[in-house]
Structure 1
Amino acid sequence: MKNNLILSTLQSSFIFQNAAQESLRQLAEEFQFFTFEKNKNIDFTQTDKYFFIVSHGIIKMTKMDIESGRSITLFLYSAGDVFDVLPLFDQQEHDVEFSIVKNSCLLAIEMTKMREWIKKDPHINAAFFSYLAREIRKLEDFSESMVFYDAKTRLIKFLLKEINTNENKNNSLLAELTHASLAEIIGSIRSVVTTELNKLKKEGFLIKKEGKLILHDLERLHKNYNHLFHNR
């Protein structure tokens, strides 16, 4: 059963989906399977040694300033995403933390073996370039938001872009994130996020369903706040 899960995860990942089936079967034998509980951190020695693929769950990459105690979330990883790409290529330590936002299953392969596969398989090699470009664009977008938009706009932009907006489904990401986590993601502080979320509740854009917050009336949300993304 684990072998089937590993293979299906590889087939659904942007990095590996175009590799030959025989290569995927061989690659699947190199992976180990790990489960992590919510609110746990992944041991940094593991992220130096292994390259991970998310089978299911949500992981966040966080950078912390020890002196101030403030932190910022650089990436959220979900099914099919991979980490940590930087030490995979530059073989240097990466001073970040990876924590579990939602109970997660991860596949792990030794960094040295992953480097060998990148050299050996042209499909995997090419996919990494596209993946890196996509991640750089995310950071570019984040940097632009930090400079040009206020906290309220960044919060709404995140909610509209990252959250599953199908009201008939459980909005799992929003349900799992605390106000402090949202503050880390948009580069603000918890009290500001709490204030803005309360405003969205009063306006009817956030409602509780089965005890969890979900986005509501998205057409009106887009209409009311679309101007924020055109005026800087």
Structure 2
Amino acid sequence: MIELLNQQQHNHILQQFRSKRCPKGSQVSGPDKASDDVLIVSAGRLRVFLSYEGREFTLYYLEEGDIFSTHTRAVIEAVKDSVILLTPIKAFRQQVVDHPEIALLMTGILGDMLGSSWDVIEGIIFHDAKTRLIAFILSLGRANGNMTENGIEFDCDLTMENISLIIGATRQTTSSLFNVMMKDGDIIRVAKNRYAIVNMQQLSTRLAEYKK
């Protein structure tokens, strides 16, 4: 979305957005905040989650270029020092009408988010923590992995706490399962924040069997 709006013919739209810095750990938006804006992540990473009686349910992470709305029941929190762009929904709605290419891109982004939400919900309801962790690791490999002599290498700078919130398990359970996968040789640590899935096909087959 940032790349599209930076194009000359759309630059006037980008100028309607106001920039806001969000320190790590700060709440960008929530159900108790009266705001009705379109939000685009310019830099950093935001977490979108639901909170109920002290429990948190992570839906997805917003990365650079992702678009979202502050007018939802979800809480949006900066998990890194971030910069976001904001504009009122009413103003942006007219730009979408006038520029169908923006609507087309938004459809793809929001479709991916919806698919991710369904994956999370399905995993929480029907599968155990081990299955959810394997599915999450495979999704990282498929999304940004590269084939190397070590297997499918991918970057992951999420903390174990972050991952536990995504798969809906305690930090201790997530850490234990992650260590078992490393001990069994399913994944290896290549460098700081970089891992490799040793045999993608084998791990995918095992996940399919767990889901039966």
Q: TM-score range by the shorter chain?
A: 0.7 to 0.9
- Who is 2:179 aligned against? 198
Compute the displacement of 1:95 (Å). 2.3
8 Å CA contact 1:62, 1:98 repeated in 2: yes
The residue correspondences of 1:126-205 to structure 2 (distance < 5 A) are 126-162=104-140, 164-166=144-146, 171=155, 174-175=156-157, 177-204=158-185, 205=187
Greater CA deviation, 141-150 or 73-82?
A: 141-150
The one-letter code of the counterpart of 2:161 is: A
Could you tell me which of 22, 29, 36 is aligned with 1:49? 36
Cα distance in 2, alignment partners of residues 167 and 103 from structure 1: 31
2:47 matches 1:60: yes
Contact residue 50 and residue 111 of structure 1 kept, 8 A = yes
In structure 2, the residue matched to 1:207 is 189
Higher helix share: 1
Cα distance, 1:145 vs structure 2: 2.6
SS in 2 for 1:79: coil
> Could you report, residue by residue, the CA deviation over 1:98-127 in whole angstroms, capped at 9, with x for unpaired residues?
111222222221222112212332222344
The equivalent residue for 1:37 is: 23
Task: Give the unaligned 5+ runs of structure 2.
Answer: none
Q: Is the 8 A contact 1:167 1:214 kept in 2?
A: no
- Equivalent position SS for 1:135: helix
Report how many residues are paired: 202
Larger deviation: 156-165 or 104-113? Answer: 156-165
**Aligned partners of 2:25 and 2:77 also within 8 Å:** yes
Larger mean CA deviation between 69-78 and 132-141 belongs to 132-141
Letter paired with 1:180: E
Q: Partners in 1 of 2:147 and 2:43 — Cα distance?
A: 21
Letter in 1 for 2:198: E
Contact 2:145 2:154 in 1 (8 A): no
Q: 1:129 to 1:187 in 2, by over 3 A?
A: same
Q: CA deviation at 1:46?
A: 6.9
| Distance (whole Å) between structure 1 residues aligned to residue 58 and residue 36 of structure 2 | 22
Counting strand residues as a fraction of each chain, which structure ranks higher?
2
Aligned to 1:90: none
**Is 1:230 the counterpart of 2:212 in the alignment?**
no
SS of alignment partner, residue 42 of structure 1: strand
8 Å CA contact retained: 2:24, 2:79: yes
Change (3 A) 1:187 1:157: same
- Judging changes above 3 Å, is the alpha-carbon distance between structure 1 residues 119 and 141 closer, same or farther for their aligned structure 2 residues? same
Per the TM alignment, residue 146 of structure 1 is displaced from its structure 2 partner at its CA by 2.8
Q: Give the Å deviation of 1:200.
A: 2.5
Structure 1 partner of 2:198: 219
Partner of residue 113 from structure 1, selected from 79, 82, 91 = 91
RMSD after superposition? 2.9
Alpha-carbon distance, 1:32 to partner: 1.5
**Secondary structure, counterpart of 1:161 in structure 2:** helix
For the 8 Å contact 1:118–1:125, the answer to whether it is kept is: yes
Quote the residue 1:99 is aligned against. Answer: 77
